């Protein structure tokens, strides 16, 4: 039998393999070892390079091939040639206004839990994960709001052909001197959902078995918020796509900054008391 404390033992090799693979990748799965053979850290492949490649492809279809206007045009015609759902109870009151408040209250709850964790020794293992979650959500929504202040992109409802009076301009095109300044890019409301993609990493540090559920909840909230705004004429699909990327990148990079230096032993010791904390 191998000595689990021996550097050359199969047990230590298995632990090392698991440490090199991203959360959710089973080291026993065929092809999993291929991540390491590329010479690129596995987290960089699946958390950054693959999402960026998918984003670039989708962005090309939406912006360069006209997918944005094609989708918005069909929604506009489906609603009868005007944005019938712009002031609708569900899309405007419940999802738009209510969704923002719900996300804000959830963030305040995380901050409150973080403050309690710093005062209670029994919650010590939750301190850094809670701080990470609070910072990730705050930074994601703040960056999106900051970008909206200077990108000067119009909403669909402002544009000719969609009930407005302004001309459409590409994202990177220089605006004419007389053009009014837009405040619609990236999608601010969708960030109230997508910012919570950080739950994937928060739960990966505290309750690993729930991390994909956290991801699904945040992604679903962002999709609901984004689609509701598209139905109101407030955003093109690309606006939500950029918000999704910004929030995911912030969650990934902040996680690397706050947790990357921990060794597998430190991570295991932090998770053990967390699992016993009610």
Region 250-258: mean pLDDT is 96
Distance CA 163, CA 76 (A): 9
Cα(207)–Cα(215) distance, rounded to whole angstroms? Answer: 13
pLDDT of residue 15: 45
Pick the more confident residue, 50 or 169: 50
Range of lowest pLDDT (6-10, 206-210, 226-230): 6-10
DSSP for residue 7: T
pLDDT at 6: 39
What DSSP character marks residue 198? G
How high is the pLDDT of residue 43?
A: 83
- DSSP H helical ranges for 124-263: 127-151, 188-194, 199-206, 211-232, 237-259
Confidence check: pLDDT of 92 > 80: yes
What mean pLDDT is reported for the chain? Answer: 85
Beta bridge partners, 166, equal 159
Neighbouring CB atoms inside 10 A of 171's CB total 15
Helix then strand then coil, in percent of the chain rounded to 5, is: 70, 0, 30
Q: What does the pLDDT look like over 77-88, one tens digit per residue?
A: 999 999 999 999
Structure token digits, residue 242? 């950029």
Q: Please give the model's pTM, rounded to 2 decimal places.
A: 0.82
- What's the residue count for the chain? 278
Whole-number percent of the chain with pLDDT over 70: 78
128-135, long-range: CB < 8 A, 24+ apart: 128/205, 128/258, 128/259, 128/270, 129/202, 129/205, 129/206, 129/274, 130/202, 131/258, 132/198, 132/201, 132/202, 132/205, 132/254, 132/255, 132/258, 132/259, 133/198, 133/199, 133/202, 134/107, 134/110, 135/254
pLDDT of residue 119: 94
Question: What's the number of CA atoms in the CB half-sphere (13 Å) around residue 219?
Answer: 9
Instruction: Please state, for a pLDDT cut of 90, what percent of the chain lies above it.
Output: 69
- Rounded to 10 deg, the angle between the 50-59 and 237-259 helix axes is 170
Collapsing DSSP states into helix, strand and coil, what is residue 166?
Answer: strand
Residue 174 DSSP class:
P
């Amino acid at each position: 039998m191998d000595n689990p404390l021996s550097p050359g033992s199969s047990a230590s090799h298995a632990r090392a393999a698991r440490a090199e693979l991203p959360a959710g990748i089973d080291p026993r799965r065929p092809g999993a070892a291929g991540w390491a053979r590329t010479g690129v850290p596995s987290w960089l492949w699946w958390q950054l390079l693959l999402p960026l490649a998918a984003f670039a492809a989708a962005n090309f279809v939406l912006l360069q091939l006209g997918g944005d206007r094609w989708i918005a045009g069909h929604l506009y015609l489906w609603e009868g040639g005007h944005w019938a759902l712009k002031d609708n109870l569900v899309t405007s009151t419940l999802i738009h206004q209510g969704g923002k408040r719900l996300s804000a209250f959830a963030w305040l709850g995380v901050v409150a839990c973080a403050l309690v964790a710093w005062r209670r020794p029994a919650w010590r293992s939750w301190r850094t994960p809670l701080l990470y979650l609070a910072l990730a959500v705050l930074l994601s929504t703040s960056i999106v709001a900051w970008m909206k202040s200077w990108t000067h992109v119009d909403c669909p409802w402002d544009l000719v052909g969609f009930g407005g009076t302004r001309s459409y301009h590409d994202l990177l095109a220089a605006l004419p001197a007389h053009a009014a300044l837009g405040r619609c890019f990236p999608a601010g409301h969708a960030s109230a959902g997508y910012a919570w993609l950080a739950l994937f990493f928060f739960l990966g540090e505290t309750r690993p078995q729930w991390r994909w559920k956290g991801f699904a909840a945040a992604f679903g909230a962002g999709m609901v918020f984004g689609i509701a705004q598209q139905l109101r004429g407030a955003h093109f699909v690309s606006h939500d796509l950029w918000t999704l990327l910004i929030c995911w990148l912030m969650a990934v990079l902040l996680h690397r900054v706050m947790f990357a230096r921990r060794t597998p032993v430190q991570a295991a010791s932090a998770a053990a008391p967390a699992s016993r904390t009610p």
